[in-house]
Structure 1
Amino acid sequence: MKKLSPILKSLLFPLSLLYGLIVSVRNLLFDFNLLSSTEFKIPIISVGNITVGGTGKTPHIEYLITLLKDDYKIATLSRGYKRKSKGYLLADASSTSYQIGDEPMQIKRKFPDILVSVDKKRVNGVKNLLQSEHGNDLAAILLDDAFQHRSIKAGLSVLLIDYNRPITQDFIMPYGRLRESASEKDRANIIIVSKSPEDMTPIDRRIIVKELDLLPFQSLYFTCLNYGNLVPVFKNDAINIINEEWGKENFSILLVTGIANPKPLREYLENFSHSVEEVQFPDHYSFGSKDIEMIHSRFEKLEGENKIIVTTEKDATRFYDMKINQDSIKKHLFFIPLRIKFLNDDKSKFDVQIMNYVQKNKRSSNLHNIKTDSI
């Protein structure tokens, strides 16, 4: 986070104290059952964070989908941030990112056979899923970005913490980047330290374990992010690039992003090119025709014959839904998929914990039999 001036600090700090007080009171009302949480007779796994900005929720949701989809009928439920529609929607083959949001659209394109739904009111969203024609077959529901949505009680709560932004060293927004106090991590059943370095040393791991001071029932895992091969956004129009060779041809790259933190992707691309120019938009930005014209102009000015435009998979969903007339963009626009990788032997332990939870609790006949035990 950028350093704040002393004047700005003095202005933001009181606001953070007030915001923190409001959030703490709200959490206490839920803790003492003065505000109610709804529990359902189906395994519900929530994936969320405490920190504002990207912690890798979508790649972790996609990992859970891949883990479960071959054995169980599953659904995802998201808010559908910045979508142009309202209320509950169940995605189908004709859905667009404007209707359901970019992240749900990314999931639907990657996993067309699972149920992808959106609803700002999560309780209403779950009820609609269970009452749909697919409701009787559903074995589990994945809630995206729902750690603060306490009106619904997830059977298993997964909290993501960015390795590069330790919550124990942060402060509540707007002075810091925390949505709520770091102590609220105690509500999570599973904590994943995401964006960890792949070569993390045992001592670094022990330091984090000590700082987090987990409760006995909580499980801790570490993941890193891995970039996949280039994928054309418009497959029928794209130039042919062999992923193993493209970096050796010294391509010039125009990086176009609308995400919270494009720095890791830019640093990754710099391994393949000495010429990486960047066009950065706000997170979840809705590209317009003028933006496309500007991107086209910047691309045409890149030096060399070998040049491409690279974006993220999330941004690609919005480009895909646009009418782009510039052939040079459609030919040269690629995205890089993002996947997670568990460190050490964390993968096998995490997989077992998730599979055991779903197996033990699927279509439980007794609401109070929902189990969230660790391994």
Structure 2
Amino acid sequence: MKNLRKLLFPFSLGYKGIMALRNHAYDQQWFASKRFKLPIIGVGNLSTGGTGKSPMTEYIVRLLNDQYRVATLSRGYGRETSGYRKVQVSSLAKEVGDEPLQFKQKFPELSVTVDENRIRGIQKIREDENTADVIVLDDIYQHRKVHPGFLILLTSYDAPFYEDLVLPAGNLRESRRGAQRADVVVITKCPPDLDVNTQKISAQKVKKYTDSPVYFSSITYDDVARGVEDKVLSEFKKSSFTLVTGIAKPQPFMEYLLTKGLHFEEKHFADHHNFTEKELATLDEIPVILTTEKDYVRLKPYLKKTKLFYLPIRFSFLNGERAFNDLIKNYMKNDRN
């Protein structure tokens, strides 16, 4: 499939040219990019997804939540509504999107909002609540109508932007040169034991496109599945279960479970998939389901018969955690907007 996509390279040149013109127009201020008198932290990527934006957003929330009043704003991808909405703990994923709902249920005190128009969303947060010291924008990298004061670029270790091509031959939404807009680059989903020399080689490849600092992080899974009741992962060996996922890249999750000696049936859906009534009815006949946290918030309101569990993930830096944290905290102190 990958080689077949390369046949689409001529189309990628056209798309790349269009995005280059668009970025040039913003760089030259021919197109307006609005700044706000409020700290704005943007999290995004150059690719179409699967880089770990949600874990990074959660990391920033945890980092700042004790000292600042944090608000998050995202498009609410996959929701069936539009416009500005405040996310409530009791909201449904189809109303606000799965990731915003996940944040709200994990941090009930957090101001979580969705709006496909980010400028309007930021203005509404300030008008309606006026309680935010900082707003974290999710998936904002190509949304250049807003100018974040601090922009974080994520790229996954298994599919780094510097080895990828622009759509449709590859998965990049714009050329690799877009990395130069980042204030910091985080290579995500690295093996936890990634050696220092390999990190240096990867960082050097990133440095061809940006002078911003580069850090490495990994995502590991908890050993306890959460649900109506908690269940140690090893207990899943005693009975059959079905793995249900609706995420961009389910392979790492599957591989982790296999390394734990677990055997399971699989049902995979597209990222942010909106389950139909028929699909939900079929899933509800499965005795035990293990899923991701994002899928859990979508499925929980509708599955009454099945025992539903999710496996939490843990985000951690391999190096430079303190330096990364200092970048964020110094930005908050200096407020460069």
Question: Is 1:320 matched up with 2:300?
Answer: yes
Sort the Cα spacing of 1:40 and 1:79 in 2 relative to 1 into closer, same or farther, 3 A: same
Say if 2:271 is the partner of 1:283: yes
Q: Indicate if the aligned counterparts of 1:250 and 1:273 stay in contact, CA closer than 8 A.
A: no
> Following TM superposition, by how much is the alpha carbon of 1:294 offset from its aligned partner in structure 2, in angstroms?
2.9
Aligned to 1:111: 107
Q: Distance in 2 between matches of 1:215 and 1:264?
A: 28
Shift of 1:123: 0.8
User: Percent of aligned pairs with the same residue?
Assistant: 37
Gap change, CA 1:14 and 1:216, over 3 Å in 2: closer
Larger deviation, residues 257-266 vs 350-359: 350-359
Contact kept in structure 1, 2:43 and 2:139, CA below 8 Å: yes
**How far did residue 359 of structure 1 move?**
2.1
Matches within 5 A, 1:84-103: 84-103=80-99
Q: Tell me what 2:73 maps to.
A: 77
TM-score under structure 1 length normalisation = 0.85
Residue 326 (structure 2) aligns with? 352
Cα distance change on mapping 1:271 and 1:250 into 2, 3 Å? farther
Q: What 5-or-longer segments of structure 1 have no aligned partner?
A: 301-307, 362-368, 371-375
Q: Deviations over 1:132-156 (max 9, x none)?
A: 1x31x32100000000011000000
Rg comparison, structure with higher value: 1
Moved over 3 A (4+): 214-217, 229-233
The 5 Å alignment of 1:116-131 reads: 116-131=112-127
Q: Structure 1: how far apart are the matches of 2:249 and 2:301?
A: 23
Q: CA deviation at 1:353?
A: 1.2
Q: Is the 8 A contact 1:97 1:321 kept in 2?
A: no
Deviation at 1:219, TM superposition (A): 1.7
Residue 202 of structure 1, aligned match among 178, 196, 204: 196
Q: Distance in 1 between the 2:211 and 2:126 partners?
A: 29
User: Which of 48, 51, 55 is the matching residue for 1:52?
Assistant: 48
Q: Is contact 1:230-1:334 (8 Å) kept?
A: no
Residue 266 of structure 1 is matched in structure 2 by 254
Aligned residues: 337
In the other structure, the counterpart of 1:343 is: 318
Residue type of the alignment partner of 2:322: S
Shift of 1:273: 3.4
1:227 aligns with 2:205: no
Q: Give the 3 Å change call, closer, same or farther, for CA 296–90 of structure 1 in structure 2.
A: closer
Deviation at 1:246, TM superposition (A): 1.6
* Equivalences for residues 102-251 of structure 1 within 5 A: 102-132=98-128, 134-135=129-130, 137-213=131-207, 218-233=212-227, 235=228, 238=229, 241=231, 243=232, 245-246=234-235, 249-251=237-239
Normalized against structure 2, the TM-score is what?
A: 0.95
The aligned counterpart of 1:311 is 291
Q: Which runs of 5+ in 2 are unaligned?
A: none
Q: Aligned equivalents of 2:181 and 2:31: distance in 1?
A: 16
SS in 2 for 1:126: helix
